[in-house]
Amino acid sequence: MPVSLDPIPVPLDHCVLSGHDDDTALILRDQTLSYKTLRLRVAQLASWLASQLPEKGARVASWGAKDLVTCLMPLAAARAGLVHIPINPLLKHTQVAHILADSGAQLLLGTNSRLDTLESEDIPSTCRIVDVAGIPGELDGEGLPLSTVDPQDLAAILYTSGSTGKPKGVMLSHANMWLGAVSVAHYLGLESDDVVLAVLPLSFDYGQNQLLSAWRAGAAVAPLDYLMPRDVIKACVRNGVTTLAAVPPLWVQLTEQSWPDAAIHSMRRLTNSGGPLTLDLISNLRSIFPQADIFPMYGLTEAFRSTYLDPKLVADHPASMGRAVPFAEILVINDDGEVAEPEEEGELVHCGPLVAQGYWQDAERTSDRFRSAPAESHYGGIAVWSGDRVKRDKQGLLYFVGRRDAMIKCSGVRISPQEVEDAALASGLVAEAVALGVAEKRVGQVVHLVARALGDRERAEKALPAILAHDLPNFMNPRVIHWRDTMPLNPNGKIDRVKLAREIEA
């Protein structure tokens, strides 16, 4: 039976109560956990965390592969009264250092292979690091009982790139994450006999929700760290996967593979976010999985998930973002501050209980994005003003028009141009730098950097690529560096990004 749509939030760690004791809950490479065992391990890990960080509200970060500890952390940290900070495994020491310092994390759990890449100055003096490999051996006893915290208490901080500056931490409450799990499990129609393959990073709201929505439905989830698309297909066969989520670049890779009948026949639903599905991609998915439902979705970390398109409408409205998910109210506000008429472009404003609590220790950026809901809102309170331009047709279906900011989106990952620019300037080799996104079929966009050398240009051209490769994660590294002796300026005296974009795309 599909998940009931109960709007009353509870503490996040209650999420594992839905499954029957003997049903499979978590499928790891080296072990499979029933719901009974999962509940025990969550309780034990919560107890261990509380012994390490007894102060309620303390921040604990995790930075590792999808193993037992990292998969249990969202619930165990919540039960221990801590705030969980999952860090993208693809990030490098510079970004991790910023997240640790900005969040005030007092404990970092990670794998040795990642921890060894950190330099001494990357780790705040108040933060201890622990190799996750040894933690399972320390888990014993009955552990902590179910928590009774206020569902509005802070449960997690998810760091996401902004259009300017370093990653910012989005504050999510127990209620935000619980209702997100209930919402997704409901509209996807997840049931206790489903098997969800979790291929997305657990540092993303979309990735983490794969765990939470599956457990809310009493289903099984199989986390996977993959290197090649074939790894995903093999995991689908091995686990009898019924539900697969991905971003468009991964879907492109997967549709180029040969799928065995065993993986095709078990598949019930495919979900997509992080960018629109093209007509060709939808056609290819339909060809491979004729019986599976396709769920295009739109979301932003500041409100988790905003819209989804009913699979019945995908064939006739493939470009649509759909309608609001349960617990979300989506308004389109025109440039006059009024609710837009059908077919009139405006800003997408998300209202309701999925709206996050703002940005961690960043009142200025919080006040810019989190503002009072429009008077027409049923929920009222604080809304997320997304900056995304959309329009709604006469049937009530939403369509994406464009982004307000200059974010670069590569393989479903948002990249801050300023982060790339700051890394180039910090090298001491560059006087000016502009990072731009250039369309690329397979990954959406790739980073191009336009730079003016500081001093010897030949030396800068030779040295900068290696420095950026050391300081930036792979997906942020510029595909091409364009060198200029002068930068074009706009009438305001600022570097003309639009002109540079036209030049490099010509």
Main-chain dihedrals φ then ψ at residue 167, nearest 5 degrees = -55, 145
Report the C-alpha gap between 415 and 178 in whole angstroms.
Answer: 27
> Across the strands, what pairs with 168?
160
Do the Cβ atoms of 447 and 118 come closer than 8 Å?
A: no
Domains (ranges, CATH) in the chain? Answer: 12-399 (3.40.50.12780), 408-505 (3.30.300.30)
Q: Which residues contact 257 (CB under 8 A, 6 or more apart)?
A: 229, 230, 233
The span from the CA of 12 to the CA of 177, in Å, is 7
Asked if residue 6 lies in contact with residue 178, where contact means CB atoms within 8 angstroms, the answer is no
Residue 430 belongs to what H/E stretch?
strand 430-440
Residue by residue, pLDDT tens for the chain (506 residues) are 678 898 899 999 999 999 999 999 999 999 999 999 999 999 999 999 999 999 999 999 999 999 999 999 999 999 999 999 999 988 889 999 999 999 999 999 999 999 999 999 999 999 999 999 999 999 999 999 999 999 999 999 999 875 456 789 999 999 999 999 999 999 999 999 999 999 999 999 999 999 999 999 999 999 999 999 999 999 999 999 999 999 888 898 899 999 999 999 999 999 998 878 888 899 999 999 999 999 999 999 999 999 999 999 999 999 999 999 999 999 999 999 999 999 999 999 999 999 999 999 999 999 999 999 999 999 999 999 999 999 999 999 999 987 766 778 888 887 888 889 989 999 999 988 999 999 888 888 999 999 999 999 999 999 999 999 999 999 999 999 999 999 998 755 678 888 999 999 87
The overall longest dimension of the chain from CA atoms, in Å, is: 68
Cβ atoms of residues 157 and 177 within 8 Å: no
Buried-state track 355-394, b at ≥16 Cβ within 10 A, e below 16:
bbbbbbebeeebeebbeebbeebebeebbbbbbbbbbbee
